[in-house]
Amino acid sequence: MLRLLGILVTVLFAIATAIVTWPGFFRLEQTFPVAQLAALRGAVVVVLAVVTIFFLLLAFIRPMRGFALSMALVSAIGAISGGVVLGVRGYGTDSLPEATDTSVRVMSWNTEGNAMGADEIAQTAVAMGVDVVALPETAEYVGEEVAVAMRDLGSPMWVHHVALRPEVQDGPQAWETTVLISPDLGDYSVIEASSDLTSNTEVVPSVVAMPVDGEGPIVVAVHAVSPQPEYMDAWAEDLRWVADQCAGGNVILAGDFNATVDHMASLGVDGGDLGACTDAAAETGNGAVGTWPTGVPALLAAPIDHVMHSAAWTATGSLVLTNLDDAGSDHRPLVVQLEPAD
């Protein structure tokens, strides 16, 4: 009886390990609680490694040896497989290539309601030489303060913004998303369907900025709702909406997707990770570096903030800034350098 119980436990553990390691294969990447575990792939790898060591030690007890070695084998395969996936996506780079006359740098930073202040955002953006700054959870007035500070530092920006329930005075900044775009990219305006929320993410807003003259990329500052149990359906719908924004053409997506590339497994088209867009961090060696939360080491955190691009662009570098973990926000900034594909 005990042997049969051990076999049953091992089989169930193997199934659970396989699902967490390859959630997209089982089409469970957007289901609770698999979605939550998949977001923390780095932490899962560490847990599986610890479990492997535990069962290897347990194997010294003769009556437990067969069961313990079986469990150790399953957890070791899971840990190695998860580690390989993270390695392919990239454990991190520490610099960006030199900017060129044609390059565009994009920064995504969920500011948690301006937790660190406009000056910190502006100084970081200018230091990184960015042309686009996506700021989920940032009020319009904060975006304007950032733009003024950047102008004073020699990098002027236009401010674009969408708010959920703007009639509410002093509402939570999670109801607002702001994007700053350099005049060097041309004039932009927020499309009406994005501005009036008739076509937008469901619970927290995103911004779709279109070039007025038809030149330059469409810029989408993304904020999808987090996959809390009560918001799972809305979260999945948000990801589908974001995917629809990149059907092709000239598009840059940036912001807090509240999802890793694992969660997007069923939403890529034409070789893209989400819609026709490709994740720039994974493309350039930073796909395994977590951006949330800052209180967890980067390789154990969740890479849920992204910059993605259509085939009109090629990512040449990326950088997750870990030196600002104490700045106030619970998200790390992500900076990406893009070059025109032509």
Element counts in the chain: helices (H) and strands (E) = 9, 12
With beta carbons less than 8 A apart as the criterion, state whether 163 and 175 touch: yes
pLDDT for 220 equals 98
With beta carbons less than 8 A apart as the criterion, state whether 181 and 219 touch: yes
Quick: pLDDT tens for 161-197. Answer: 999 887 677 777 789 999 999 999 999 999 998 888 8
pTM above 0.85, yes or no: yes
Per-residue burial over 251-271, b = 16 or more CB atoms within 10 Å of its CB, e = otherwise: bbbbbbbbbbbbbbbebbeee
Quick: pLDDT tens for 255-312. Answer: 999 999 999 999 999 999 999 999 999 999 999 999 999 999 999 999 999 999 999 9
Give me the DSSP letters along 4-36: HHHHHHHHHHHHHHHHHHSTTTTT-TTSTTHHH
With beta carbons less than 8 A apart as the criterion, state whether 30 and 263 touch: yes
288: tokens are 């395994």
Q: Which of 333, 235, 248, 237 is nearest to 286 (CA)?
A: 333
Q: Which of 321, 315, 319 is nearest to 278 (CA)?
A: 315
R_g over Cα of the chain: 22
HSE (CB half, 13 Å, CA atoms) of 245?
31
- Say what angle helices 2-21 and 41-58 make with each other, to 10 degrees: 160
pLDDT for 29 equals 97
β-bridge pairing 218-223 and 251-256? parallel
Cα dihedral: 100, 109, 246, 32 (round 10): 140
C-beta neighbour count of 100 within 10 angstroms: 11
pLDDT for 166 equals 75
Instruction: List the chain residues with pLDDT less than 70.
Output: 1-2, 167
